[in-house]
Structure 1
Amino acid sequence: MKEIDYSKLDEACIPLVRYFNSIGLETKMCCQGHDNPFQSLFWIEFSKNVSIKDIKNFIDNHSYKIYNPKTKRIGKSELMCGWFCLRGLYNRWHYIAGSIEAADKDYEVWTNMDAGKVYWNGPMPEEFKEGIQ
């Protein structure tokens, strides 16, 4: 992986760029968005080496837990503030968020998940609360 000069990046992108690179999702370029309707999105483009399998693994490992009280089963929800898509002339994967605040929230949730914290989409069932952060 090429050394990144973080001083040349948009300041709000730095935490997520560092994070993605540290977990093996190599980044190519980024933008925190601008105060203009045609360039308002926060985005990070990944290198051509990042595959659909890499993105799927990331999403699978960073999903909210969801509980169905009727069936008493736990599943996963892929809800997040931003989203991943394949776009651009070179068909590279991108992480896109509607705002810096949305990207910051994803970063907070993902790093907490990596540290072992469990996130629930909705209330956590009482029987699972013991022993879970």
Structure 2
Amino acid sequence: ISGHRLSTAEIESALVSHPAVAEAAVVGAADETTGQAVVAFVILREDAVDSGDQIVQELRNHVGKEIGPIAKPKTILVVPELPKTRSGKIMRRLLKDVAEGREVGDATTLADNTVMAQIAQSLKKNSPLKNA
């Protein structure tokens, strides 16, 4: 991002350190201004309240405090589930497709084929890829 090398794992770790976040996945998406933008997909804990823009801003600020302002995700999407293979690995390729607004690629190896439909539904509800 803008000449800085950021680790997706480092940003994911910062997100998960927030008490409201159960799980997170971070991908880089093409961005006209910075080359690559950080897009985060998060699952909130059961007791956390999805307050929309408020929780997104809180999470962005949390990452900024943990790592630094340059690491703040451009977009944070609260999703009900992450796409995982049967062995439990997150399929970031599919998340990158979503983040860049492309048609989602081959999802036949997903453990739960309904996950991508759930993410698409969540995107429609939360206005797709709005910048925080």
TM-score, normalised relative to structure 1: 0.31
Higher relative strand content: 1
TM-score, normalised relative to structure 2: 0.31
- In our comparison, the structure showing a higher alpha carbon Rg is 1
